[in-house]
Amino acid sequence: MAEIKDVKGIGPKSLSLLNKLNINTVEDLVTHYPFRYDVLKRGSLQETEDDGHIIIDGKVESVPILMRFKAGLNKMNFRFVTPSGVVGVSIFNRAFLKKQLEVGTGITVIGKYDKKKNIITASEIKMGILSNKERIEPVYHCTSGLTNKNLSSYINMALLMYGREINDYIPEEYLEKYQFVNKRTALNIVHNPPSMDKLQDVINRLKYEELFAFMFKINYLKRQNKLNNKGLSREIKETDIKKFIKQLPFSLTSDQEKAVSEIIEDLKAPHRMNRLLQGDVGSGKTIVAFIAMYANCIAGYQAALMAPTEILATQHYHNLKELLKDTPYHLELLTGSTSKKEKQQIYENLKNGNINFIVGTHALIQEEVEYNNLGLVITDEQHRFGVNQRTNLQNKGYMPDILYMSATPIPRTYALTIYGDMDVTIIKERPKGRKPIATYVKTNDEIKDVLTMMYEELKQNHQVYVIAPLIEDNENSGDLKSVCHLKEQMQLAFKDKYNIDIIHGKMATAAKDLIMQEFLQNKIQILISTTVIEVGVDVPNATTMVIFDANRFGLSTLHQLRGRVGRGSAKSQCILVSDTDTKRLEIMEKVQDGFVISEEDFKLRGHGDLFGTKQSGDMEFKIASLRQDYKILLQAKKDSEEYLKNKDTDHKELKEKLISGILMN
Ligand code: ADP
Ligand code: MG
């Protein structure tokens, strides 16, 4: 298939900007879906209030007169004929439009209408009139240097050139059954919607496709797991495990004990373990994983622990190293930034069995890595990994037992769908002595209090997280807070006393890891972030979490964010800033249990915000949402099961396409 750089109009500069948005292939580009649509509905001069917002189309009636001011500013005036009368239009700083605004040209003007003067001060002029009284405009996630307009034109050019080559993951029989349009048409419509009805149909079709491919993978894996259910059985002496547990700095909660014994039973049994360990943030899943790794090791096998980020992997490595310091066992850390030389050494020692424990990122499942006798694989924060990543090890010909850990409280019915045939262990109880995280709901008027509360903590050398819903301010964001804007405000408020930095999802992994590392080392005192704030990381010195526009988030998301603090011995607090929806937010003041909160959310918002802060890995969809599209998911599940059951020779090509997707990534 063609590469992005082959798309007409995309040069090296645009290419790197696109990569910044994680658009690396033509398929990525054409499936960079709008996150919103603006509907431009034609208004009339009579019906618009004085100083009211207006969108109106018509024809340019007089040659625009251009005035230039100091500092490069300019203004253009022209007369404009609309179906509801003639009106004057002024627009600032669009001198470049002058050529296009010839007399008689059809345009759409968006702006504010001054009734007395009969003038529209335009914020925007779009070429062309509105057909059908309305125009639907896709709005994309952009990055600085790459506008909505650029994206739209690149996407359309890519569709024009390569639209036929884009994979359609819906088998023909289902395309027919549901009377879905083909992929190319669907993409054309989603990026250039002619009407809301057509758009909705196509969105459903694309959601179905995404969920079909997802469920196909899950069902395929389920089938493979069943076929290769034979696993390792090992001898493990209870007394050895008890001895190890006894020397821990704390005693296990009874839920942790139960989880340990279920896992040990799995390790001993001849079937392959395929278990999900679910527990609220801070419930202490990591130690359970370490004990399982230890048990596996004394039975003579290697264990691998995989974390979604380098920083989390590094943290696990140090903790495990501490636990193993009086044992003869050998532990290593393998991540993207391990030097080439060290890597070679580690590969060699993994292969010859000198390494007993390996902790790392998905560097652990790269092609070059070979194990001697891999017995157990654990993935932390499993919702952050793709199905693809989690199957790679199995596909290397190893048959290790597998444990997934996740902090996302998912109701059982959902878990059963998404996790196929895994066994599920739940840790409900929190370690003893954990202080609740004092939670306060504040309004924007009380911002001074909030800053004071932050300052009190900063003075004690503690650190603060600040969360906002947006990365940058944009014209449509209204009063919503953005990370960049808050950084300026915080810098004003705290002068140069503290180091303030930002982190968000559009940053490269290495940059994010670096910022997290600096926060962990207290080189940054105030970290401002969108909700992508790294999962799982323990920064015990961070005692305060401030969440702006808290009403924008589901309770479960708020709970996950709150779980970033309260990890050390110091008292912690979480401040939710919002002027509206305070009743719902007050639940957070009273409840500390993630499962209870998830249920409250469920009651309040229908499906609730079940998947927490970030739907990454196998739950990251481009257009579908597990929460909102559960019905489509169930249909896709049923269809993909049926499809997979058909004779293997059927639909060979599509199956290969779907399965190669699983193996390749
Ligand atoms: P999570 O389940 O969110 O991954 P962690 O495993 O990171 O939680 O545990 C959170 C903190 O609680 C860690 O600092 C860990 O050492 C501590 N911890 C775990 N289990 C216990 C326990 N039984 N008693 C006291 N502290 C514990
Ligand atoms: Mg964890």
pLDDT digit string, tens, across residues 7-42: 999 999 999 999 988 899 999 999 999 988 988 888
* Contact present, 360 and 334 (Cβ < 8 Å): yes
CB of 361 sitting under 6 A from ligand 1: no
d(CA 198, CA 204): 10
pLDDT at 662 over 60: no
Neighbouring-strand partners of residue 360: 306, 334
CB neighbour list of residue 413: distance below 8 Å, 6 or more residues apart: none
**What's the pLDDT at 274?**
85
Find the mean pLDDT for residues 468-474.
86
pLDDT at 664 over 50: no
Helices (DSSP H) in 579-626: which residue ranges? Answer: 582-590, 594-604
| Look-up of token digits 């007050």 | 586
CB of 253 sitting under 6 A from ligand 1: yes
**Higher confidence at residue 646 or residue 516?**
516
Q: Give tens-digit pLDDT for 155-181.
A: 999 999 999 999 899 999 999 999 999
**Higher confidence at residue 312 or residue 415?**
312
CB neighbour list of residue 431: distance below 8 Å, 6 or more residues apart: 250, 253, 282, 283, 284
CB of 407 sitting under 6 A from ligand 1: yes
Find the mean pLDDT for residues 86-91.
97
d(CA 169, CA 345): 42
Q: Whose CA is nearest to atom 12 of ligand 1?
A: 284
CB of 320 sitting under 6 A from ligand 1: no
CA-closest candidate to residue 409, choices 553, 605, 552, 277: 277
Atom of ligand 1 nearest to the CA of 433: 25
Q: How far is the CA of 381 from the centre of ligand 2 (A)?
A: 7
C-alpha distances in Å from residue 541, one per residue of 214, 458, 547: 39, 10, 18
**Higher confidence at residue 15 or residue 475?**
15
CB of 431 sitting under 6 A from ligand 1: yes
pLDDT at 616 over 60: no
Q: Whats the size of the chain, residue-wise?
A: 665
pLDDT at 412 over 80: no
CA-closest candidate to residue 30, choices 204, 185, 196: 185
φ, ψ dihedrals at 420, nearest 5° = 55, -120
Q: In which element (H, E) is residue 611 found?
A: none
Q: How far is the CA of 81 from the centre of ligand 1 (A)?
A: 69
* Contact present, 90 and 77 (Cβ < 8 Å): yes
Look over the chain and give the mean of its residue pLDDT values, rounded to a whole number.
87
CB of 292 sitting under 6 A from ligand 1: no
Of 92-106, 306-320, 428-442, 604-618, which gets the smallest average pLDDT?
604-618
Output the DSSP codes for 271-322. BPPEEEEEE-TTS-HHHHHHHHHHHHHHTT-EEEEE-SSHHHHHHHHHHHHH
Q: Give tens-digit pLDDT for 110-164.
A: 999 999 999 999 998 988 888 777 788 899 988 888 999 899 999 999 999 999 9
**What's the pLDDT at 360?**
94
Q: What is the DSSP letter of 35?
A: S
Of 238-242, 268-272, 509-513, 599-603, which gets the smallest average pLDDT?
599-603
Enter the pTM of the model.
0.64
pLDDT at 46 over 90: yes
Q: In which element (H, E) is residue 127 found?
A: strand 119-127
Q: Give tens-digit pLDDT for 420-466.
A: 667 888 898 888 877 889 999 999 999 999 999 999 999 999 999 99
Q: In which element (H, E) is residue 91 found?
A: strand 85-92
**What's the pLDDT at 472?**
85
Q: Give tens-digit pLDDT for 361-387.
A: 888 877 788 999 999 999 887 655 555
SS (HEC) of 450-498: HHHHHHHHHHCCCEEEEECCECCCCCCCCCCCEHHHHHHHHHHHHCCCC
Residue 416's pLDDT band, with cuts at 50, 70 and 90, is low
